[in-house]
Amino acid sequence: MAIDQTRPNQSRPDAMPTDPAAGAGVKSDAQRERERRKSFLYQRGPAIAVSVGLVALWWGVVVVFGIPTYIAPTPADVFAVFVEQGDVLWINFWPTLLEAISGFIIGNLVAVILAIWFVHSQLAERSFYPIAVFINTIPIIAIAPILVLLLGNGYAPKIVIAALICFFPTLVNMVRGLKAVSPQMLELMRVLSANDREVLLKVRLQSSLPFLFAALKIASTTSVIGAIVGEWIGSNYGLGSLIIEATYNFRSPLLYATVILGAGMAVMAFGLTTFAERRLLTWKPSDVF
């Protein structure tokens, strides 16, 4: 039987249809979509648009209803304070920043140490956890005068207040994270003859990192609140003191500028904590921030 030599060989690889865009460096739709989602406009565009809209609404309400400046200034009045009294704002910014950072470090460090102790000692957890809960139920504004009487009007009471307000969320999340280890993993570590220290360093701490950073995000902002609240009670410096002074003297533009500066400090702390989380927890899916 004769074989027709004129028919093309359908099994040859070079006879298969090819995509003209393949191998030409052309990006696929999925790649373009991923790049779009990583762009600055996609990530921050909605927040920027909403912020601009809120500022415009604020400005419009003040102008349309003719609200006096001593009650509610316009954004232009607040911006003028940053230009004309920027030195006053910055002089009071640094003490508050120092108190917030110190309280953040001390409060979270004590919480992590206690959480590790609680995980390894049920007696310690049963003894001191209820006390931590009780202290957390006391309003921070009620604790502040007591600490000022005990520690004076210096930096110490403000740092302690900032540490207290950071302490409890980190303690709760850290205890939960250290215990969030599968029994199979613990059993494997026992089979490998690992001691408590090795289990802590190699298993428990790593499993607790997502819980820890969730608490640190909260603490990064509340530490600023604690420092400012501490400055409300018997202090002549800091953003909290400046807020009280501007309120009693009806200096509304200065009051708004101080509040915006304090909020910017909290946002900066939250952003730095989120950046550290992304660097350390590369295996964790990124969230909105």
Cβ-contact 174, 215 below 8 angstroms: yes
Average pLDDT of the residues of the chain: 84
User: What would the pLDDT profile of 258-282 be if each residue is shown by its tens digit?
Assistant: 999 999 999 999 999 999 998 888 7
The class (CATH top level) of 72-280 is mainly alpha
Tokens of 55: 């500022």
| Residue ranges per structural domain of the chain | 33-67, 72-280
Mean pLDDT, rounded, for 148-176:
91
Mean pLDDT, rounded, for 128-151:
88
Q: Which residue's entry shows tokens 């702390």? A: 269
Q: What are phi and psi of 103, to 5 degrees?
A: -65, -40
Nearest by Cα to 159 from 148, 174, 171: 148
> What does the pLDDT read at residue 284?
59
> What does the pLDDT read at residue 244?
93
User: What would the pLDDT profile of 3-35 be if each residue is shown by its tens digit?
Assistant: 454 454 444 444 444 454 444 455 666 666 666
Tokens of 112: 């992590």
